[in-house]
Structure 1
Amino acid sequence: MTEKLQENTDHNKHPKHDFQVERLAFFSDAIFAIAITLLIIEFKIPHVTKESSFDSVWEQLVELKYNLLALLLSFFLIVTYWMRHHFLFKHIHNYNKQIVIANMAMMLPIIFFPFTTAFFAESVDNIHVVILAFRIFLLNHILAGLTIYILYWLATVKHKDYSFEMSITERKKFTSDLLFTTITFSVICSVTFLTSNIQAILWVFLACGISKKIFDSFSKKAVSKTA
């Protein structure tokens, strides 16, 4: 009976249906690629003249150190979000208006990454502005985490017939990694309202990282016992 119903569903399906799902994924991939590429725009070529010396050009390059660190951090995080998005679309085989809107909502914080990254990098030398820039940078990543979780929930929980079933291990790892990142950035953002001490903020980040490692080890043991 189930096979017959599946045959009827496939027969009535629009011939371009599968391509439309892929089209949604391709469109998102393009936005991720553009966001990553735009990160490099803030790197200005050193101004070199006939009078320029090795030391003067090197100093101009050294001045870009904060831009480089911010770029590497954002590059890593954008790639992480893309991998999660890619993982979701490995399972999503159907869509509706809610899933399309959720996917587009996720693209919004992604396109802001080049701006928040540049703002944070340019504000590092100004102690009065850097905390504001850092909060906006963190908020950008919090929104990215929340929107991809909404997409995950809509596609695999509310409309679970629109996606292939995930294994328990895959589901736990996806949600725990995503929630850890979002909660960590939320905690650090909250700490910035209590102190502007960068060392204290780094200690909070380190504590969150250790907590994640402990949580992962317990989760693996729980899964192995269940299996």
Structure 2
Amino acid sequence: MIKTDTHHQRFQLDRIALFSDAVFAIAITLLIIEIKIPDIHPPFSDAKMLDALGMLIGKFIGLIVSFFVIGRYWIFHHRLFGYLTNYNGKLLWVNLWFLLSIVLMPFSSAFFSEYYIAGLRIPLIFYVLNICFTGFMNFRLLKVVSNPKYNLSTGLTDRTKVRFYQQRSMIAPLVFMFAALVSFINLYLAYAAFLLIPFFSIWINRHYRKKHPTFFN
């Protein structure tokens, strides 16, 4: 059932947005909590310190990748909720499933970064599945918000704009799926594939910016 009282629905939309923002904030914070200060025993030396920090490189890579992946989805979620004028039960549940995928990110990121040096594929595949889950639920959320049948938003009647958002939302999952496939050939080349995310993002932005500059106002 769609809620129609203007003041009440605005209050409820704010509650949904604030709850979602809190989940994003906690998930991003938990990423750094997984990285512990190196435990170095006497006698202390700079060489020991550098060796200990070197052992944390994988965890920092996981932190940076996950930070920007979560950040990208938060930016998209923030923009998408800017179009909302209404809500219904379907939106609440899809948003909740989407947030579940975000909550899982600190664990899957830590699992991946803990064992990536060992050359194991299971942690990478688990991480990829998490990213794909996030991408799918993000895509589903966009479909619900932009569907005129539900009458939940204004400003999303342009299907080209919706298609632009859909394509952007699927960049990370597709790149991570590609990385998972590459891992069966060369695991470290698969890690390098993560760098494709910003390149595809820039390419899609430029493609749409030329034809539809108003999307970026």
TM class by smaller structure: 0.7 to 0.9
1:1-227 alignment runs, 5 A limit: 13=5, 15-48=7-40, 51-127=43-119, 129=120, 131-166=121-156, 168=158, 170-192=161-183, 194-199=184-189, 201=190, 216-223=205-212
Q: CA deviation at 1:39?
A: 0.6
**Aligned partners of 1:119 and 1:85: how far apart in 2?**
26
**Aligned partners of 2:111 and 2:22: how far apart in 1?**
23
* Residue deviations 1:166-214 (CA, integer Å, cap 9, x gap): 374643431221123332223333443x424432x36766778766665
Gaps of 5+ in 1: 1-9
Q: Which moved more, 1:99-108 or 1:182-191?
A: 182-191
**Residues 218 and 37 from structure 1, CA distance in 2 versus in 1: closer, same or farther, beyond 3 angstroms?**
closer
Contact 1:47–1:57 (8 Å) recurs in 2: no
Contact 2:83–2:154 (8 Å) recurs in 1: yes
Letter matched to residue 152 of structure 2: Y
Higher radius of gyration, 1 or 2: 1
**Aligned partners of 2:134 and 2:37: how far apart in 1?**
31
**Aligned partners of 1:38 and 1:154: how far apart in 2?**
29
**Aligned partners of 2:7 and 2:198: how far apart in 1?**
47
Letter matched to residue 57 of structure 1: M
Normalising to structure 2: TM-score of the pair?
0.83
**Aligned partners of 1:208 and 1:49: how far apart in 2?**
40
Letter matched to residue 195 of structure 1: I
Paired-residue identity, %: 28
The number of equivalent residue pairs is 210
Contact 1:139–1:189 (8 Å) recurs in 2: no
